[in-house]
Structure 1
Amino acid sequence: MTRDFDPRTGYDANGRMDPKAYDAILLASFGGPEGQDDVIPFLRNVTAGRGIPDERLEEVAVHYRSNGGISPINAQNRALKAALEAELANRGIELPIYWGNRNWHPFVNDTLKQLAADGHRKVLLLGTGAYAGYSACRQYREDLGMGLRETGLEGVVEVDKVRQFFDTPAFVNPFAEGLRDSLEAVRAQLAGRGDTAGRIKIVFVTHSIPMGDANAAGPAAEHGNRDQNLYTAQHLAVAKQILAQVPEADGLEHSLVYQSRSGAPHIPWLEPDINDALEEDAAAGVAGVVVVPIGFISDHMEVLWDLDTEAKDSCAELGLAFSRVPTPGTHRDFVSGLIDIIEERLLDENGLPRRTGRITSVPGGPWFDVCPASCCVKPALDGTLRPTIAGVDSEVGVPQP
């Protein structure tokens, strides 16, 4: 990778940004309700601008209502924030971590105001999406671009973003560890049925997205396949790396499937859905499945409902042994690796880069610090483009905003 920084822009030809003296970190996530009264207001925020009536939102609300109206995602982000703070302290890095959400308290705009009130001016954003794409990357960049404008902090507070981390051992290693354990669990279930020779399949799963969003992320040129969208290719590359670390998986079938499709039925989304795929697997003679949720960093509602409830129930009805691999959460390797990625962007006490190398173990990485102008573009409902951070303005060729 080219290491020559352009002094006019502060980033190199590969979209890597020059380390800076940041004074705070912002952990940004999706957000979720924390009580029954929060559920519909939260879902209104998620679907804002789409004109979806509350009666339809109640159909989705059952996922949260069955859990007391509480999404686990906020508690998981609090735990991740605490774990990251502890790792920073262990390394002697004195940077406060703030937390802001897209759809529920604490909202990003409120957090930006607090950052500014506390005197912070150079902020490094850590989003909780691992892959390239609109929802996992660009939407966070838009959240902060819009937030700075709406709060009047544009030009006052500077926010940059760390790279996507799908390619790092931090993300891959916890899944490999969990796959070993889940394979053992499924084999034990089958042995308990007297079926020691039953076929086991490894089912990698991620969030489905509209085909338009998948194509906007770009073709998978770096994976040698220009006909495959980048989102799918990155997940397949992660799955391959996980399998390479688990000898116990040698010779087993595996597939990539999708979950949590939403939106208008006439709009094509990535397929197959996990429940449809499980039916086909059972019909083909598979006896047990290990589900590996490689699209997610924590066991939030879509994991608990779509996998631990619906997919697990599908397996019970189909007679399939089932085990689901945990997401990284606060796994020691994940937390340590995220701080490694943050250190790539920091200067030490002598004004020198804290970390000169970039760890990557999956084809397609390391990803950009500063994204190309056309990266994952998705116009607003009125056809306009939202302001973003950590991107290149195509007209002037400098970072936004």
Structure 2
Amino acid sequence: MSYDAVVLISFGGPERPEDVLPFLANVTRGRNVPPDRLAEVAEHYQHFGGVSPINQQCRDLLAAIRADFAAHGLDLPVHWGNRNWHPMLADTVAQLRDDGITSALGFVTSAYGGYSSCRQYLEDISTARAAVGPDAPRIEKLRQYWDHPGFVEPHADAVANALATLDPARRDSTRLVFTAHSIPVSMAASAGPQGGRYEAQLREAAALVAERAAPGLPYDLVWQSRSGPPQVPWLEPDVNDHLRALAADGVTSVVVSPIGFVSDHLEVVWDLDTEAAATAKQLGLDFVRAGTPGTDRRFVAMVRELVTERLNPADTAARRRLGTLPAWDTCPAGCCQPARRP
């Protein structure tokens, strides 16, 4: 199979105050999110001037990928389109068509399986192509990369660097806490070929990072950023509740690693750097938040490696993985069905 472009596909975010509510309307369409919850989340964005960091992070990643491709002789143009805000994916697909692109590979800024982290991106691609029409280029999503060295190693280095800032005399009472976006319990346990992959992959990624960055240090995987109706069960514990439990158990210091994310977007800088940090301060916990891959050269190189994997499927030796969970290039039909709405 030949391809003539790569598309960076991300979540998107507002870039001025008046964008916030229309952006949130796109994100929550059909999800029955209570209005007071929307207003609460909108205030998080206004705390940062109505600007999410994610679009600039995508611009930086886009530039880094293009430079890496050029340096390694990979002659493919790289475009960018978002799920929820400009540049919208449908507009990007239309531009690809106008540029004569017929077949592209899609790299999404989510390392994991699951509905919102994988399948929904496939639906976004399908919707965007349908909006453009019958001459829209084909776009194939690249594989999940939770256990790729280019994702694991930057996270591990960030954890090690964060740990080095804490008092070594308190090592015995220090805890490593990995966080990821919570999802409904029904979604986490969804049926089908990839049912339960989101949580399983996160646990494997956390183990891979922990064993490289802090061997022997106790660690947990907890959740953040839940939304939706309060009567719907979501994965727990929430990071703030977990910090309270750790403090009650005598933990004095925590390193929090947002293993579920590839960059320091709003759900990192608000939910962790603002809310969780404030909780830790109230509890008297030493709190350090580890960084995310962002534009780390290994993460950028990983994108190229995932592309060359697909370009050269017979070269199985080039397929770099650190984990043991099943992985595949093309998701099976029916995988990761969405949770039923109440």
Deviation at 1:353, TM superposition (A): 6.1
Match of 2:334 among 368, 371, 374: 374
The residue number in structure 1 matching 2:77 is: 96
Instruction: Decide whether the 8 Å contact of 1:171 with 1:328 is kept in 2.
Output: yes
Deviation at 1:128, TM superposition (A): 0.9
Match of 1:200 among 156, 174, 181: 174
Instruction: Decide whether the 8 Å contact of 2:192 with 2:334 is kept in 1.
Output: no
Match of 1:314 among 279, 299, 308: 279
Deviation at 1:161, TM superposition (A): 1.1
Is residue 71 of structure 1 aligned with residue 59 of structure 2? no
Alpha-carbon RMSD across the aligned residues, in angstroms, is 2.2
Per residue, is there more helix in 1 or in 2? 2
Instruction: Find the aligned partners of 1:186 and 1:219 in 2 and give their Cα distance.
Output: 42
Match of 1:244 among 192, 198, 211: 211
Deviation at 1:338, TM superposition (A): 1.7
Is residue 361 of structure 1 aligned with residue 328 of structure 2? no
Instruction: Find the aligned partners of 1:250 and 1:359 in 2 and give their Cα distance.
Output: 22
Helix, strand or coil: the match of 2:9?
Answer: strand
Instruction: Find the aligned partners of 1:286 and 1:68 in 2 and give their Cα distance.
Output: 35
Q: TM-score normalized by structure 2?
A: 0.94
Helix, strand or coil: the match of 1:159?
Answer: strand
The residue number in structure 2 matching 1:124 is: 105
Instruction: Find the aligned partners of 2:314 and 2:172 in 1 and give their Cα distance.
Output: 53
Residue identity in the other structure for 1:169: P
Q: For residues 162-217 of structure 1, what are the alpha-carbon distances to aligned partners after superposition, in whole Å with 9 as ceiling and x for unaligned? A: 100001001100011111111111226xxxxxx64661000011110111111126
Q: TM-score normalized by structure 1?
A: 0.81
Instruction: Find the aligned partners of 2:193 and 2:275 in 1 and give their Cα distance.
Output: 32
Helix, strand or coil: the match of 2:320?
Answer: coil
Match of 2:154 among 166, 174, 178: 174
CA, structure 1 residues 278+32, in 2 after alignment: closer, same or farther (shift >3 Å)?
Answer: same
Instruction: Find the aligned partners of 1:218 and 1:253 in 2 and give their Cα distance.
Output: 33
Instruction: Find the aligned partners of 1:255 and 1:379 in 2 and give their Cα distance.
Output: 25
What are the within-5 Å matches in structure 2 for residues 143-162 of structure 1?
Answer: 143-153=124-134, 156-162=136-142
Match of 2:20 among 14, 22, 39: 39
The residue number in structure 1 matching 2:190 is: 216
Instruction: Find the aligned partners of 2:186 and 2:331 in 1 and give their Cα distance.
Output: 19
Instruction: Find the aligned partners of 1:202 and 1:219 in 2 and give their Cα distance.
Output: 31
Deviation at 1:134, TM superposition (A): 0.7
Helix, strand or coil: the match of 2:179?
Answer: strand
Q: For residues 1-25 of structure 1, what are the alpha-carbon distances to aligned partners after superposition, in whole Å with 9 as ceiling and x for unaligned? A: xxxxxxxxxxxxxxxxxxx221011
Instruction: Find the aligned partners of 1:50 and 1:230 in 2 and give their Cα distance.
Output: 22
The residue number in structure 2 matching 1:223 is: none
Deviation at 1:49, TM superposition (A): 2.7
Instruction: Find the aligned partners of 1:251 and 1:126 in 2 and give their Cα distance.
Output: 34
Helix, strand or coil: the match of 2:221?
Answer: strand
Deviation at 1:71, TM superposition (A): 0.1
Helix, strand or coil: the match of 2:199?
Answer: helix
Match of 1:278 among 243, 249, 260: 243
Instruction: Find the aligned partners of 2:202 and 2:33 in 1 and give their Cα distance.
Output: 31
Deviation at 1:148, TM superposition (A): 1.1
Q: For residues 57-100 of structure 1, what are the alpha-carbon distances to aligned partners after superposition, in whole Å with 9 as ceiling and x for unaligned? A: 22211111010100000000000111110110011111111100
How many residue pairs align between the two structures? 342
Instruction: Find the aligned partners of 1:87 and 1:369 in 2 and give their Cα distance.
Output: 23
Instruction: Find the aligned partners of 1:346 and 1:186 in 2 and give their Cα distance.
Output: 44
Instruction: Find the aligned partners of 2:81 and 2:28 in 1 and give their Cα distance.
Output: 18
Residue identity in the other structure for 1:180: A
Structure showing greater Rg: 1
Helix, strand or coil: the match of 2:311?
Answer: coil
Helix, strand or coil: the match of 2:167?
Answer: helix
Instruction: Find the aligned partners of 2:340 and 2:27 in 1 and give their Cα distance.
Output: 14
Instruction: Find the aligned partners of 1:371 and 1:41 in 2 and give their Cα distance.
Output: 31
Structure 2 residue ranges without an equivalent (≥5): none
Deviation at 1:158, TM superposition (A): 1.2
Q: For residues 253-276 of structure 1, what are the alpha-carbon distances to aligned partners after superposition, in whole Å with 9 as ceiling and x for unaligned? A: 211100000001111110000000
What are the within-5 Å matches in structure 2 for residues 344-355 of structure 1?
Answer: 344-346=309-311
Instruction: Find the aligned partners of 2:255 and 2:297 in 1 and give their Cα distance.
Output: 23
Instruction: Find the aligned partners of 2:170 and 2:159 in 1 and give their Cα distance.
Output: 19
Instruction: Decide whether the 8 Å contact of 2:32 with 2:228 is kept in 1.
Output: no
The residue number in structure 1 matching 2:4 is: 23
Instruction: Find the aligned partners of 1:140 and 1:61 in 2 and give their Cα distance.
Output: 24
Helix, strand or coil: the match of 1:165?
Answer: coil
Deviation at 1:54, TM superposition (A): 5.7
Give aligned-pair identity as a percent: 47
